[in-house]
Amino acid sequence: MSLNHLDPNPVGAPCVMVIFGASGDLTKRKLIPALCNLASDGLLSKQFAIVGFAANDYTTETFRKMLTDEIPKYSSSPIDQKLWNWFTERIYYVKGDFNDPHAYQLLKEQIEEADKRHNTLGNKFFYLAVAPRFFSPIVKRLGEVGLTKEEEGHWARVIVEKPFGHDLESAKQLNQDLKQVLTENQIYRIDHYLGKETVQNLMVFRFSNNIIEPLWNRNYVDHVQITAAETVGVEHRGGFYETAGALRDMVPNHLFQLLTMTAMEPPISFDADEVRNKQAEVLHAIQPFGPEEVLTCMVRGQYGEGTVDNQRVVGYRSEPDVARDSNTETFVALKLQIDNWRWAGVPFYLRTGKRLAQRETEVVIQFRRTPFVLFRNTSVRNLETNRLVVHIQPDEGISLSFGAKVPGSIMKLGLVNMDFDYATYFGTEHSTGYERLLRDCMVGDPTLFQRADMVEAGWSVIQPILDVWHALPPRDFPNYAAGSWGPHEATELLERDGREWHNAGNEGLGRRNRAADGAKTADRVGIA
């Protein structure tokens, strides 16, 4: 389900799903397994069909066979054979070039045939799992053959994968290109991070708990950290990464989505535009970066060789399809301020990087320190502050740390963690992260998808950084070892403010070990 939890009909509407770039990894790794999960849960309409479109030399029969052979490798749970047989009967394939007008006519005929055979009521949506340079041409061709028209109650929608532009100007141009063919409510700009259960739970956690929301402001919060750390390198994406880098790849989409969910004001309802209005307000309230702020509040890095999971790995410049003198960043850290009543004076620290010490995506709310006066004449030398950590991946859950007296005859404080794990309390969900987003598109709920103004507002924040970095190339790359937590300048970014990064280590291991123990009680508490 989406944030609109009162949806009276959770089953996706009858429709044909067209996947552009259907022969790519995303289709077999994520999209088809997600659709199978929806079907298994009874959330996919029986009146449904898939049409794959790509340049590869498949037929419908060979495309079905390829998926039959590949899907078991990527499905999060065994697929019932009866369900798969039902599913494959609804899969079709059209071979064609993305720029060939004739291929779109063939596609239209195949959609119409599938519509009649499976009674999909004329509804359709197009998933653009292709390189960004094809977004505009594909939508233009779809419009030319009439596949984007919404008539007689039939709907047509387009899901666009990231990156949505590579700077502010290109994002505006892409929005303009799409809107020449589509209306805004037909465009679904997808960010799979928002398919994560915990990301959506941020709003529920904040706005449904009266012990939390009154503390969620500058009066009680010292600072906020948002981290998206990966242990993997660029792998087979070197060619793409050379044109993007960590800043473009992660910050205006993934990290800013987490930022807006964390910092937004309460919407008046879970209506899609009400939620997205509040998210857009956060982006517009970010203090703009001048050239001096870019130099002092931004850190970029590139990994060199090192050790990850006890394995020696090469540096970024030795990866396939990467220039040997590349200045592309694989790590970014930044400090920003949100200039509104709730967050004035509270710094937000964001970081993301590849080949880091641990895979972890999390939001950390660091609360202010309590007055020390009560403990002045005791042996307590340092008061730990309360910390709330929203864990997003690899394990989804929420941790709250607070001080408690260690048993004994002297005053000694220990830091206690109280954990909530989704897997422990609700069971493991067979999810790819795409189920909710695909179903939301089918039912017409755009809450978890970016709007045009949100995309442009995010790039407006990033553009001054791109400009300064273009003018001042880095001179010290590579500047962090694979398997570390990034360049030392990132540590200094917080140390200058008397703070430090929350590096998930023993705490994260403790959470996973306790979850593995199968503890079911709701008040699991352990000394960290």
Could you give the C-alpha distances from 402 to 35, 87, 367, in angstroms and in order? 42, 50, 10
The question of whether 470 is a catalytic residue gets the answer no
Contact 63, 88 (CB under 8 A): no
Q: In what order do the strands lie in the sheet with 48-54?
A: 91-95, 48-54, 15-20, 124-128, 156-160, 187-189
Indicate whether 511 belongs to any domain: yes
> pLDDT by residue (tens digit) across 136-189?
999 999 999 999 999 888 999 999 988 899 999 999 999 999 999 999 999 999
What's the pTM value of the predicted model, to 2 decimals?
A: 0.88
Does 120 have pLDDT greater than 70?
yes
- Among residues 312, 327, 319, 311, the alpha carbon closest in space to that of 233 is found at 319
The encoded tokens of residue 182 equal 């589509």
Query: Which of 161, 180, 215 is the C-terminal boundary of a domain?
Result: 161
**Averaged pLDDT score across all residues of the chain:** 87
Domain count, the chain: 2
48 with 94, same domain?
Answer: yes
Report the alpha-carbon distance of residue 186 to residue 176 in Å, rounded.
14
Q: Which one of the listed residues 223, 254, 391, 502 is annotated catalytic? A: 254
Same domain, residue pair 209 and 281 = yes
The amino acid occupying position 348 is F
Residues 128 and 231 in one domain: no
> Which of the four pLDDT bands, split at 50, 70 and 90, describes residue 428?
low
Residue 24: give the domain boundaries.
Answer: 15-161
Q: Are residues 350 and 492 in the same domain?
A: yes
What pLDDT score was predicted for residue 411?
A: 66
Q: How do residues 315-325 score in pLDDT, each as one tens digit? A: 999 999 999 99
Q: Does residue 338 share a domain with residue 411?
A: yes
pLDDT band of 230, cuts 50, 70, 90: very high
Given 116, 143, 161, the domain boundary residue is 161
Q: Which of 64-68, 405-409, 422-426 has the highest mean pLDDT?
A: 64-68
pLDDT at 523: 34
pLDDT band, very low/low/confident/very high, at 424 (cuts 50, 70, 90): confident
Q: Does 483 score more than 60 pLDDT?
A: yes
Q: Is residue 4 in a domain?
A: no
Is residue 200 domain-shared with residue 157, that is, in the same domain?
A: no
Work out the number of other CB atoms within 10 angstroms of the CB of residue 8: 4
Residue 328 lies inside a defined structural domain of this protein: yes
In a domain, 177, yes or no: no
Share of the chain above pLDDT 70, in %: 86
Q: Of 509, 512, 523, nearest to 428 (Cα)?
A: 512
Return the pLDDT at 528.
30
From first CA to last CA, the distance across the chain in angstroms is 34
Q: Which amino acid type is present at position 487?
A: P
DSSP string, 233-288: --GGGHHHHHHHHHHHHHIIIIIHHHHHHHHPPPPSSS-HHHHHHHHHHHHHHBPP
Identify whether residues 126 and 245 lie together within a single domain: no
Q: Do 256 and 397 belong to one domain?
A: yes
Write the pLDDT tens digit of every residue in 79-93.
889 999 999 999 999
E-assigned strand segments in 319-477: 331-337, 347-353, 360-367, 387-393, 397-405, 413-421
pLDDT at residue 80, rounded to an integer: 86
pLDDT over threshold 90, residue 95: yes
Which pLDDT score is estimated for 394?
85
Assess whether 241 and 141 both reside in one domain.
Answer: no
Query: Phi, psi at residue 54, to the nearest 5°?
Result: -165, 170
Residues 209 and 330 in one domain: yes
Alpha-carbon gap, residue 293 to 301, rounded angstroms: 17
Asked which of 225-229, 313-317, 436-440 is least confident by mean pLDDT, the reply is 436-440
Asked whether residue 477 falls in the same domain as residue 520, the answer is yes
Report the CATH number at residue 480. 3.30.360.10
